[in-house]
Structure formats: C-alpha cells, structure tokens
Amino acid sequence: MLKVILALFGAIVLFAVIVVVAAVSTYNGLVNRSQAVDAQWAQVQNVYQRRADLIPNLVQTVSGAANFEKSTLEAVTEARASVGKVQLSATTAPTDAAQLAQFQQAQGQLSTALSRLLVVSERYPDLKATQNFQMLQAQLEGTENRIAVERGRFNDAAQDYDAAIKRIPAVFFAAALGFKEKPYFQATAGAEKPPAVKFDFNAQPAPAHP
C-alpha cells in the first residue's frame, strides 16, 4: 500500500514539475516574442521619424523654385503636423488597434501629400541644379523602401506573437500575466510597393499665375 501511495505521489510530483517547466518555457517564449515585436516597432518608428526629419529640408528646397504651388507645400506641412499629434510610444508596440489605425491613417495622409509634392516637382527642371534636392531624392527613395520593409517585419513579429498567446498552454494564462494581443498594420491598395520617388527634369515648369 505504501508503495502505491509513494508511486502516486511521485507521479503527481513529476506531473507538477512537467507543468511548471512547460509554463516557464512558454512564459519565457512569450517574453521573447513580445520584446521582438517592441524592437521591430522601434525600427518602424525610426524610419518614419527619418522621413519626417527629411520633410522640412525638402519643403525648404522645393519652395525655392519659382511659382511652386503653395497649396502642395502647405498640404505636406499640415500632414506632417498631423502625424506629430498621434502620440504612440517609440519603444513599445501598441496594443490598441484603434490607436495604430489612427497612426497608420496619419502616416498614409503624409505619404499622399508627399507623393503629390514630388509629382508637382517634376514640372520644375531647374531643381535639378540644386544639389540638396538630388540628395533628398536619394534619401527619400531609401527611406520609403525602409518603411515598407520595417512595416512588413513588424507585422511578421506581431502575427507570430499573437499566434503564440493563443496556443496551448499559453492561452490559459497569457492574458492574466499581461500578454495582450498586438495589432499590426493593415494592407492598403498598392501597399506592397513603396511610393515611387521619381523626377522628370525634361518637363516644362508650370506657368506663373497672375
């Protein structure tokens, strides 16, 4: 009888050890995945900030062109200001889908305004003589590509994390330990390609308005 009790007790202890080891391993895995999402979010913020830092110089350079459309410059400036109003942590990925959607919308509006400015710039071949403009062209091309890459990597990390907290055994304790689902960027039409940054210096400048 004693042997049976000891065997049963041993089995219970062994089971408890297995459960604890599995829980600890799962917890550590969730921590690593959560940190990976945060790290990738920081990269996304870095490339968006890089673009925002380029815009004042771009606006200043382009505004030097004769008769450049003021409304286009104002649209870029206002869109950049709107992005600054969406306050999200630079190091911790958001857990509020509405906040991320607002952030994405503001960045999308800035992308649209910036693309419009670059299209209008094609009408001013004199900008070709401006070395700063040529440098900005290359920097913007690189930045837009980095934005697309880092957003894709962030989505991959967020989706991996979200799937992990829904698996057994994590699903039983993840929420209680503060592991919340993290939203990711939603695809938009043409999002698989970064905005084209091209300039046609053979085009004629727009006529001046009286």
- Only one residue has tokens 């940190």, namely 35
Domains of the chain (ranges; CATH) run 2-172 (1.20.1440.20)
Q: How far is CA 159 from CA 20, 89, 125, 150, 203, in A?
A: 26, 19, 45, 14, 45
Amino acid identity at 172: F
Nearest C-alpha neighbor of 79 from the set 122, 117, 45, 120: 117
C-beta of residue 197 within 8 angstroms of C-beta of residue 140? yes
* Predicted pLDDT of residue 196: 47
Q: Is the pTM of this model over 0.75?
A: yes
**Tokens read off for 165:** 């907290």
pLDDT in tens, 130-176: 888 888 878 888 898 999 999 999 999 999 999 999 998 899 889 98
**169 phi, psi to nearest 5 deg:** -95, 0
pLDDT in tens, 39-77: 999 999 999 999 999 999 988 888 877 677 888 888 999
| Largest pairwise CA distance in the chain | 106
